[in-house]
Amino acid sequence: MKDIILENGKLKAHVNAFGAEWKGLEKDGLEYLYSGDPAYYGRTSPTLFPIIGRFLSDTYYVGDRAYRLPLNGFAMDRNFTAEEQEKDRVTFLLVSDERTKEGYPFDFELRVTYALEGDHMTVRHAVRNTGTAEMPFGVGCHTAYRWPLEEGEDPSGYRLCFEKEENITSFNPFNWKTPGFVRGKTRPLDHSLFENFTRSMTDIASDWIEFRAPSGHGVRIQRKEYPFLAMWSLPDEKAQLVCLEPCTSVHAGGATTLNDRMGIIVLPAGECCEKEFTVTPF
């Protein structure tokens, strides 16, 4: 499926209706997003819905009935409709159907909007419950950035920078915790951090987080409306990517229902939940 190109004179972005996926972000000739090399991670920034992470054996229950959901849900592997499109923004739409109900028995509309606004990209998720029962869900983006951003840079010189002083415990999908994963305003990055899978963080005081290169380039992620930040890469420098994933919910430990998952949103019938984050390249 052909990418849609968004431009506003300052930034250029590529997005695609398959998975409502953000595929590229360019400023002054520098590309910030990962290429999607299938040898390491074959995507760039697909939409995660209605779960982030997975269930044991990909199986969960609604009442007494068992359902199956794949890793990170089904939205990332569905074709969305481009509902509205202008030169600097597009809204993709996915509506529940018989196929989605095989694994998720709820009626919904999921809209994902990408908009270039000045010097930043805004990513907006709007989830509407079109059914008659409460609907539990999580939503997020599996955004992969180039690491390093420029050829020849040392990836070990990169770091996460936080707006405020932090004392954050990270945890992985098995709920193995690392107290003090972030102390203060910076966290050096190294591929060895990911030997035990995804690092997730919550109770983040900062509204924004930066992924910063030794050169001074990087991105600022304004993620206040997303209580979790999942972080993933491979423990191999050849991968040359790091995923920084604003999300409303994550997986940690055992869960057999959607409502057991950390941070799950329960949306009443007929209501809409909207969340957005921004990414500013520099």
Listed by start position, the domains of the chain span 4-281
What's the confidence (pLDDT) of residue 254? 84
Per-residue pLDDT at 1:
85
Residue 152 has pLDDT above 90, yes or no: no
Q: Give the pLDDT score at 253.
A: 80
Cα separation, 155 vs 191, whole angstroms: 8
The pTM is what?
0.96
Nearest C-alpha neighbor of 240 from the set 160, 152, 161 = 152
**Confidence band for 232, pLDDT divided at 50, 70 and 90:** very high
Amino acid residing at 103: G
Q: 4-281 has which fold? A: Beta-galactosidase; Chain A, domain 5 (2.70.98)
Q: With pLDDT > 70 as the criterion, what percentage of the chain qualifies?
A: 100
Answer yes or no: is pLDDT of 212 > 90: yes
pLDDT at 251: 83
**Structure confidence at residue 252 (pLDDT):** 78
